[in-house]
Amino acid sequence: MDMDVDFEDHRAELFGAAYRMLGSRTDADDVLQEAWLRTTEVDWSAVREPRAYLFRLVSRLAIDRLRRVRARRESYIGPWLPEPLIAGPDADAELAESVSMALLVVLESLDPVERAVFVLHEAFGFEHAEIAAMIGRTERATRQLGYRARKHVEARRPRHRPALGAHREVTERFLAAAIGGDLSSLTEILAPGVTFSADADGRNETPREPVRGRAAVAEYLCSITWAWPPALGIRPVTVNGGPGAIITSHDLPYLILALDVDGDNRIHAVHVQLNRDKFAGLR
């Protein structure tokens, strides 16, 4: 068996699993590199299900890495947001939901093993018996982990269906209102329970806790019109399957904006990534 070919055949879905489990493109890439190196030492003649084995390898590496990075994230200054995935505007509904910024933020509150079980079952369709073998637990324990994770996520995930059309229009309307300090227009486009989160790791003067509620978010955005950078440029993009933009200053990336939008084009969450350590996925 040519394992280089087999691993590359599964690289995209293995990356998808690692990214969902870790919320970091950089960490997911590192996990895949380590997994690939380990495959060179495997006796593949004894492996009945190569795909399941690869998922097992990646899942265990991702769980171990998430346990290690959790301590750093707990001491993080301000909100910790997942590393954005920048893609084309043609993401389908299933992809948009499975890697949405809103869902990844919810997954951050799960235990690493619960998160792995949820991702493997919900995103990739593995049965609990298969997942049990991957994570080294009994099938009964795995079912319990999956039940707890699903209950936790369902209680916190957005209730609305994500908007997949009119991405550019929503982004441009929001940015025009925010940059111009237009309170009335912001109030019109924001949902009543909207949240605003900015990830800067203490390097910028941003709220240390999410801002919640239409009035509070609109007023906050209108109060910081001075903070927009000089020689500002706007490039609308799809971020984690939803509308967003790369904001530049003098043609250099300044921030990444991700919006959580419902079918009526109302914004339910504004995620702002200012931590340049998380700009690795820009292209």
Which pLDDT tens digits describe the chain residue by residue (283 residues)? 455 447 888 998 999 999 999 999 999 999 999 999 999 888 888 888 999 999 999 999 999 999 999 888 888 899 999 999 886 544 444 554 568 898 999 999 999 999 999 999 999 999 999 999 999 999 999 999 999 999 999 998 877 766 666 678 899 999 999 999 999 999 999 999 999 999 998 888 899 999 999 999 999 999 999 989 999 999 998 888 889 999 999 999 999 999 999 888 999 999 999 999 998 766 5
CATH fold group of domain 164-278? Nuclear Transport Factor 2; Chain: A, (3.10.450)
Collapsed DSSP state (helix, strand, coil) of residue 193: strand
Ordered by start, the domain boundaries in the chain are: 3-75+110-155, 164-278
pLDDT of residue 92: 44
Q: Which residue from 187, 189, 206, 185 is spatially nearest to 197, judged by alpha carbons? A: 206
| Cα–Cα distance measured from residue 151 to residue 145, given in angstroms and rounded to the nearest whole number | 10
How far is residue 67's CA from residue 31's CA, in Å, rounded to a whole number? 13
What CA–CA distance (Å, rounded) separates 169 from 90?
15
Q: Are 189 and 173 in contact (CB under 8 A)?
A: yes
SS (H, E, C) 90-144: CCCHHHHHHCCHHHHHHHCCCCHHHHHHHHHHHHCCCCHHHHHHHHCCCHHHHHH
Q: Comparing C-alpha atoms, which of 158, 209, 216, 159 is closest to residue 183?
A: 216
Contacts of 64 by beta carbon, 8 Å cutoff, 6+ apart: none
Q: Are 170 and 259 in contact (CB under 8 A)?
A: yes
**Could you tell me the strand order of the sheet in which 211-212 lies?**
86-87, 232-239, 242-249, 252-261, 267-273, 190-199, 211-212
- Report which residue type is found at 271: H
Beta-bridged to residue 255, according to DSSP, are 247
| Domain covering 3-75+110-155 in this structure, CATH number | 1.20.140.160
Instruction: List, in sequence order, every beta strand (DSSP E) within the chain.
Output: 86-87, 190-199, 211-212, 232-239, 242-249, 252-261, 267-273
pLDDT score, position 128 = 98
Residues 146, 114: Cα–Cα separation, whole Å:
6
11: Cβ contacts below 8 Å, ≥ 6 apart: 32
Report, in this order, helix, strand and coil percent for the chain, each rounded to 5: 55, 15, 30
What pairing do the DSSP bridges indicate for beta strands 267-273 and 242-249?
unpaired
Please report the pLDDT score of residue 263 as a whole number: 84
